[in-house]
């Protein structure tokens, strides 16, 4: 414990010194709590929302969610925390942690943002009237849903957005004897469900989806007797490239895309250690000896670390900071069954915000070319995505006016910054 506390302090000091440009302000941690499904004891430990402060190296429970049996997802968007928990979706202020509203959504599973819409997948024992819906992210009012007659006839798990399309992990997970293995494609502009890509006999029960180099990756747990990774070309008509078994005679728990290494990290139950799948070769590369048996996992691309959780699932849990080698560098107590993590990324210029003059950009939103006006002459411009990754770095002759070609970057929300200026957010359509 003494070594862990020292490591936490050193890590916090490192984060503080490097806090320039985008920074991880906090990591939100959704705890599933403990519901006694088999003993009939009801909710023994409630669902909670926690916050880990990378600068201080501390964890705190910031909200207790009474009523739901479990929590299934958390995400952060423009200062708002969204939580999916069993039969409802909730909004919290990311600074004060005050509840801002909730909507009853039976079987709420996973969440994603597209413009002003909150996208929600659904699944429940006995079936539901529909398995996908979009709600206004400010009011949580229902905007539209996909009727089963359009083709989405079973429960879906993860959802990711690529441009104006949503990709759904269609697994039928609440009908255990009839698991499915498909990725569905939804046109968000037309509000219609179209193509389904069959992942093959080894691609049953897709649980996590990632986007990498324009492709969609699916981590599939089958019936927990094996696990696999599928890769789908997302440009043009979606095509399955491969489904590769990554664990025989063993299921897997947490998985995460680690862009810094072009790997998918995942926990294999049989080994109880992290393994890595190399996306360049499409094969398992190695097992990280000495890594913990994690339950939740996410990459922090800004600080070059991983955040993970472990739990005994009924009484205790821990939050860990890991190196990319899977070794624990810091640990703090957390909540029971903390399995879903989300980064709250803010903008920090390394100087007080009131002293950092802002960049002016237009048009905003932008399609092709962004006109940039700086508060002072500078030659280097950096554009980063919502996760803090550098997507565009331009070096030009020093000037206060620049034109930036952004046609090649994916639709989404970005920040632009130059030397000595505050960062400014813009949207790419």
Do both 185 and 273 map to the same domain? Answer: yes
Residue among 46, 125, 130, 119 nearest 84 (CA): 119
C-alpha 270 chain-centroid distance: 26
Do both 236 and 324 map to the same domain? Answer: yes
Domain count, the chain: 2
Return the number of other C-beta atoms located less than 10 Å from residue 418's C-beta: 24
Region of poorest pLDDT, from 36-45, 388-397, 403-412: 388-397
Give residue-wise pLDDT tens across range 288-328: 999 999 999 999 988 999 999 999 999 999 999 999 999 99
The answer on pLDDT for 355 being more than 50 is: no
Contact predicate 232/220, CB 8 Å: no
Do both 344 and 381 map to the same domain? Answer: no
The answer on pLDDT for 241 being more than 60 is: yes
Do both 321 and 249 map to the same domain? Answer: yes
Reading the block at residue 62, the tokens are: 């910031």
Residue among 299, 420, 398 nearest 349 (CA): 420
Do both 370 and 343 map to the same domain? Answer: no
- Work out the mean pLDDT of the chain and round it to a whole number: 88
Do both 19 and 149 map to the same domain? Answer: yes
Do both 307 and 396 map to the same domain? Answer: no
User: What is the rounded (10 degree) CA torsion for 343, 169, 268, 2?
Assistant: 10
Do both 372 and 300 map to the same domain? Answer: no
Contact predicate 15/55, CB 8 Å: yes
CATH number, domain containing residue 250: 2.130.10.10
Taking each continuous run of H as one helix and of E as one strand, the counts in the chain are 1, 35
Q: Note if the bond before 293 is cis, omega within 30 degrees.
A: no
Whether this prediction's pTM lies above 0.85 is answered by no
Beta bridge partners of 329: none
Give residue-wise pLDDT tens across range 371-391: 888 877 777 888 988 777 788
Please give the residue range of the domain that contains residue 382. Answer: 353-428
Give residue-wise pLDDT tens across range 21-74: 678 999 999 999 988 888 888 888 999 999 999 999 999 999 999 999 999 999
Q: How far is the C-alpha of 165 from the C-alpha of 187, rounded, in Å?
A: 5
The count of C-alpha atoms lying within 13 angstroms of the C-alpha of 180, restricted to the half-sphere facing its C-beta, is 21
Do both 206 and 314 map to the same domain? Answer: yes
Do both 259 and 403 map to the same domain? Answer: no
CATH number, domain containing residue 399: 2.60.40.10
pLDDT at residue number 348:
65
Contacts of 39 (CB under 8 A, 6+ apart): none
pLDDT at residue number 412:
79
pLDDT at residue number 21:
63
Do both 98 and 130 map to the same domain? Answer: yes
User: What is the rounded average pLDDT of the residues 116-128?
Assistant: 95
Measured CA angle at 176 (ends 174, 181), to 5 deg: 85
pLDDT at residue number 420:
66
Contact predicate 313/337, CB 8 Å: yes
Return the number of other C-beta atoms located less than 10 Å from residue 329's C-beta: 17
Do both 254 and 330 map to the same domain? Answer: yes
Q: How far is the C-alpha of 311 from the C-alpha of 1, rounded, in Å?
A: 17
Q: How far is the C-alpha of 294 from the C-alpha of 319, rounded, in Å?
A: 10
Domain boundary at 295, 316, 348, which?
A: 348
User: What is the rounded average pLDDT of the residues 202-225?
Assistant: 93
Domain boundary at 320, 348, 376, which?
A: 348
Domain boundary at 323, 348, 373, which?
A: 348
User: What is the rounded average pLDDT of the residues 389-412?
Assistant: 80
Region of poorest pLDDT, from 182-196, 269-283, 353-367: 353-367
pLDDT at residue number 356:
47
């Amino acid at each position: 414990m003494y070594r862990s506390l020292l490591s936490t302090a050193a890590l916090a000091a490192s984060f503080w010194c490097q806090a320039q440009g985008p920074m991880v302000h906090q990591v939100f941690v959704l705890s599933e709590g403990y519901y006694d499904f088999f003993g009939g004891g009801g909710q023994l430990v409630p669902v909670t929302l926690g916050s880990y402060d990378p600068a201080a190296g501390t964890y705190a429970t910031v909200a207790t969610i009474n009523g739901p049996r479990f929590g299934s997802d958390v995400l952060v968007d423009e200062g708002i925390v969204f939580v999916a928990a069993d039969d409802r979706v909730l909004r919290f202020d990311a600074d004060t942690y005050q509840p801002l509203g909730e909507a009853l959504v039976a079987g709420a599973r996973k969440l994603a943002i597209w413009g002003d819409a909150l996208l929600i997948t659904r699944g429940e024992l006995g079936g539901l009237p529909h398995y996908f819906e979009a709600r206004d992210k400010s009011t949580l009012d229902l905007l539209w849903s996909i009727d089963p007659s359009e083709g989405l006839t079973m429960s879906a798990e993860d959802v990711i957005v690529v441009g104006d399309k949503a990709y759904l992990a269609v697994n039928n997970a609440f009908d255990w004897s009839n698991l499915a293995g498909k990725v569905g494609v939804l046109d968000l502009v037309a509000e219609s469900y179209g193509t389904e890509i069959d992942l093959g006999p080894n691609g049953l029960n897709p649980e996590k989806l990632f986007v990498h180099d324009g492709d969609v990756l699916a981590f599939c747990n089958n019936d927990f007797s094996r696990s696999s990774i599928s890769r789908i070309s997302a440009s043009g008509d979606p095509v399955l490239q491969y489904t590769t078994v990554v664990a025989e005679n063993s299921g897997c728990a947490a998985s995460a895309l680690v862009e810094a290494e072009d790997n998918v990290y995942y926990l294999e139950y049989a080994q109880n250690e992290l393994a890595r799948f190399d996306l360049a070769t499409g094969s398992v590369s190695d097992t990280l000896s000495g890594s913990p048996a994690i339950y939740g996992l996410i990459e922090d691309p800004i600080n070059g670390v991983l955040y993970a959780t472990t739990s005994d699932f009924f009484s205790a849990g821990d939050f860990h900071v890991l190196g990319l080698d899977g070794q624990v560098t810091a640990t703090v107590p957390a909540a029971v069954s903390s399995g879903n993590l989300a980064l709250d990324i803010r903008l920090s210029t390394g100087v007080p915000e009131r002293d950092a003059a802002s960049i002016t950009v237009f048009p905003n939103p932008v399609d092709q070319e962004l006109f940039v006006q700086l508060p002072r002459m500078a030659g280097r411009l950096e554009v980063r995505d919502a996760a803090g990754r550098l997507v565009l770095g331009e070096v030009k002759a020093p000037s206060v006016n620049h034109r930036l070609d952004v046609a090649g970057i994916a639709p989404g929300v970005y920040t632009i910054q130059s030397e000595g200026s505050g960062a400014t957010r813009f949207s790419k359509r």
